[in-house]
Amino acid sequence: MNVRTLCLGVLTAGEASGYAIKKEIEEGLFSHFIDASFGSIYPALTQLAGEGLVTVRAEEQSGKPDKKVYAITPKGQGTLAQAVSVLPGRDKYKSQFLFQMLLQEYLTPPVMLAAVEKQLADLEADHARIRACECAEHPHAGARFVADYGQAVLTAAIAVLNEKKSELLRALRPQAAE
Amino acid sequence: MNVRTLCLGVLTAGEASGYAIKKEIEEGLFSHFIDASFGSIYPALTQLAGEGLVTVRAEEQSGKPDKKVYAITPKGQGTLAQAVSVLPGRDKYKSQFLFQMLLQEYLTPPVMLAAVEKQLADLEADHARIRACECAEHPHAGARFVADYGQAVLTAAIAVLNEKKSELLRALRPQAAE
DNA sequence: TGATGCATGTAATCCGTTACATGATTCA
DNA sequence: TGAATCATGTAACGGATTACATGCATCA
């Protein structure tokens, strides 16, 4: 899955500038399972336009620099449909956090607690973001699917982490309680 | 998190060759949240040895080429402890599958079903792999933590996916049932 | 006989991130 | 005044994957 296909995917929801596409990737449902920076989005868009998979239209703006608004073409939709119909590659999950937890014998308890709390905060932020997308509009089947999947996974992760955190706190101050 | 630190982490469980390290990364608990190929492991190990973070010992073998067995040094343990004590960066999750599902309007039902089934198979394989690690030995706290976390997340993912799959099948053949 | 496992290594290549460059507006 | 948002783009750099090179043993 490259940035070109990603841009085509975002553009199926309507025309947008490179800047808006990045925002959508960061704040929309895509954020749960994809990343992309300006350094890859802008060149991808230029390429896509060169191949006729998207159209460009310059929009003048007072003050701000001109906005380039991209829209997907029928040819682009064809290319996207093709790309998306390939059996998907395996999910890739990289977690520094779990690496730390696996090697927790090399950690001091406060450092470990801080890591757990950061992870919890990250997961909850992700969870909230997905919820926000759900309220936005009564969504189509695709959005429903991704939101349900993400929600389920994050809820489970948050639950275990909270348990682990309690265990950790209990171990740290056993003198407390009743 | 780079491959160098990863190698140090694997070596805390005991000495190993580059080949064995890759196997451990693929089959052990690491596999749930990290990837690495020979092309990055071998150079990393050479580098590590040059810096005195690991020792090397050549082991002769009849038939097969010599094995280079690496072991972590105290200095290496210090470096690892330091690397692991930094507040972890955010988890990175990339999923072609969820991208497809989000754009399912561009998919034919059979293609979508195939994708769901592949994902289900991948998740179940991952789940089984973690279970296998648990049985291996009564594990230390770190392994417990990662196994519990992985198990919880995967169980949740499998549950939603099975639901989604049923929905999909119901939609595909509504004429069936009672 | 052909695939798979053991075993190590290098080079080309890809894909993306980070940092830099530019600049107006708005909000605190 | 300084940060954040809007807005686009390029170049350097990094990190890892893929493919290639080599070679024996074992199992089907």
- B128-172 residue pLDDT tens: 999 988 776 667 999 999 999 999 999 999 999 999 999 999 988
Asked whether residue B43, judged by its CB, lies under 7 Å from any atom of the DNA or RNA strand C, the reply is yes
pLDDT at B31: 95
Which pTM does this prediction carry? 0.93
Q: Is A166 on the interface with B (CB under 8 A)?
A: no
CB contact under 8 A, B118 and A88: yes
Classify strands B92-94 and A92-94 as parallel, antiparallel or unpaired: antiparallel
* Residue pair A10/A1 in contact by the 8 Å Cβ criterion: no
The CA–CA distances, whole Å, from B9 to A93, B20, B82 equal 18, 13, 12
Q: Please name the residue that has the structure tokens 């949240």.
A: B33
Residue B176: band (very low, low, confident or very high) from pLDDT cuts 50, 70, 90: low
Name which of B24, B82, B93 to mutate to probe chain A: the one with the most chain A Cβ atoms within 10 A of its Cβ: B93
Cα A104 from Cα A101, distance rounded (Å): 5
> Which range (A137-146, A147-156, B123-132) has the least confidence?
A137-146
CB atoms within 10 A of CB A56: 15
What is the overall mean pLDDT for chain A? 92
Torsion of CA A36, A39, A42, A44, to 10 degrees: -70
- The secondary element (H helix, E strand) that includes residue B71 is strand B67-72
> Residue B65 carries which DSSP code?
P
CB pairs under 8 A between A and B: 197
Residue B173: band (very low, low, confident or very high) from pLDDT cuts 50, 70, 90: confident
pLDDT at B65: 73
Structure tokens at A50: 């060169």
Residue A174: band (very low, low, confident or very high) from pLDDT cuts 50, 70, 90: confident
Instruction: Please write the tens of the pLDDT for every residue from A118-132.
Output: 999 999 999 999 998
Residue A178: band (very low, low, confident or very high) from pLDDT cuts 50, 70, 90: very low
How many Å lie between the alpha carbon of A64 and the closest alpha carbon of chain B?
33
pLDDT at A175: 64
Q: Which residues contact A174 (CB under 8 A, 6 or more apart)?
A: none
Instruction: Please write the tens of the pLDDT for every residue from A57-80.
Output: 998 776 667 899 999 999 999 999
pLDDT at B49: 95
3-state SS string for chain A: CCHHHHHHHHHCCCCECHHHHHHHHHHCHHHHCCCCCHHHHHHHHHHHHHCCCEEEEEECCCCCCCEEEEEECHHHHHHHHHHHCCCCCCCEEECHHHHHHHCHHHCCHHHHHHHHHHHHHHHHHHHHHHHHHHHHCCCCHHHHHHHHHHHHHHHHHHHHHHHHHHHHHHHHCCCCCC
What is the overall mean pLDDT for chain B? 92
* Residue pair B127/B158 in contact by the 8 Å Cβ criterion: yes
Using a 10 angstrom Cβ sphere, with 0-12 exposed, 13-18 middle and 19 or more buried, the burial of residue A176 is exposed
